Amino acid sequence: MSDNNKKWFSLNLNFSKKQKSESDSCGCGKTAGGCNSGENNDLNQDDFIEAAVNASIGEERRKDGFEQVFDVKMDRRSAFKKLTASLMIGAGAVSTSCSMIAGEETKEKAQIDWEEQFKGNYKLMTDEEKQGTVDRLVRSYQMRTGKNISMSSKNAEEDVLFGYAFNISKCQGYMDCVNACVEENNQDRNSEMQYIRIHEMKDGKGFNFNESDDNYYHEVPAEGHFYMGTQCFHCDNPPCVEVCPVQATWREEDGLVVVDYDWCVGCRYCMAACPYDGRRFNWSKPEVPETEVNKNQHYLGNRMRKKGVMEKCTFCVQRSRSGQNPACVEACPTGARIFGNLLDPESTIRWVLENKKVFRLKEDLGTEPKFWYFMD
């Protein structure tokens, strides 16, 4: 986090101290105070920190998502209690950041929350700033849940352009891809959000989406039907990106269309602009049981989302950028899904594009999807 290349205003709470502790890389994941910082203090202070953290976040420790601290269901009494507690903590944060003695963790939490609230757009961040916000999110998660996650801010690699092909002949509608996607990407379980939709089509009707069913509950493959999956097509000319008023969504160098969940204002204009039903909105606070959280995360991918923001398929950026296939590709039992680098002439996806009769959906719209369909 260097001060000089920030493009936006941020409050500098006890900056020099933080910088120093950051340079002590010890691998414990804390961004301030270094390893074991709390344990060296005397017991009273430890108790105070514990009490303060309990009062401010209490049962939310078990949950996830940055915003949970701020929006939890509560009655008026506990609201007042928490309000008072957080006021005291706020006052404490001010006094502790001025004094050098008081609670390290409280101070750190206040600092993280502040910096996260007023950070800039990820798209415009330098690599150090990206690392900074990732470190803060990891630390914040650790402080709230006591669990460690790993979060990457890996950028697009050079000479990589991701593409996807879907074999209509092979898909049998098992929906393993859908389940794998939900688990991999920490999608909200309450609303049963799914990025992938599998459309069950009637034989002999062609690609008639109007008569297809994308919400079936019966044994597959059903007699006289074939299946076709849709998700975000990662258009090369994405209409959703154009319309976003704050550039919270954009196309990365490797072709992935991503969302900065912390920058999104939730206007849902991108959703209206998408011709492929590729985007999902968090209508309530997304929740994933702590045991089911996928802790291998990417800032632009499957990290915890909050209420009121957009999200979508990222071709599992946390996987694809580290050389793995997206979860849906890996989970597919029929081999209907093919993923790879379009710029690599040796890749399977290139072989498919060159040797199969491929087509894309709604090509007339000029969106240039990087998602092709083909048949055996």
Chain contacts with other proteins (rule: CB under 8 A) = 8-9, 71, 73, 120-121, 123-124, 191, 193, 197, 199, 209-212, 214, 230, 239, 242-248, 262-269, 271-277, 279-285, 306-310, 365-367
Residue 245 to residues 30, 118, 238, 251, 303, Cα–Cα distance (Å): 35, 18, 14, 15, 23
> CB of residue 262 vs other proteins: minimum separation in angstroms?
8
Nearer to other proteins, 103 or 286 (CB): 286
> CB of residue 26 vs other proteins: minimum separation in angstroms?
33
> CB of residue 301 vs other proteins: minimum separation in angstroms?
20
Nearer to other proteins, 312 or 337 (CB): 312
> CB of residue 275 vs other proteins: minimum separation in angstroms?
4
Query: Hey, which residues does 150 pair with through a beta bridge?
Result: 296
Nearer to other proteins, 223 or 364 (CB): 364
Nearer to other proteins, 67 or 254 (CB): 67
> CB of residue 164 vs other proteins: minimum separation in angstroms?
17
> CB of residue 124 vs other proteins: minimum separation in angstroms?
7
Nearer to other proteins, 285 or 319 (CB): 285
Nearer to other proteins, 54 or 284 (CB): 284
> CB of residue 75 vs other proteins: minimum separation in angstroms?
12
Nearer to other proteins, 298 or 306 (CB): 306
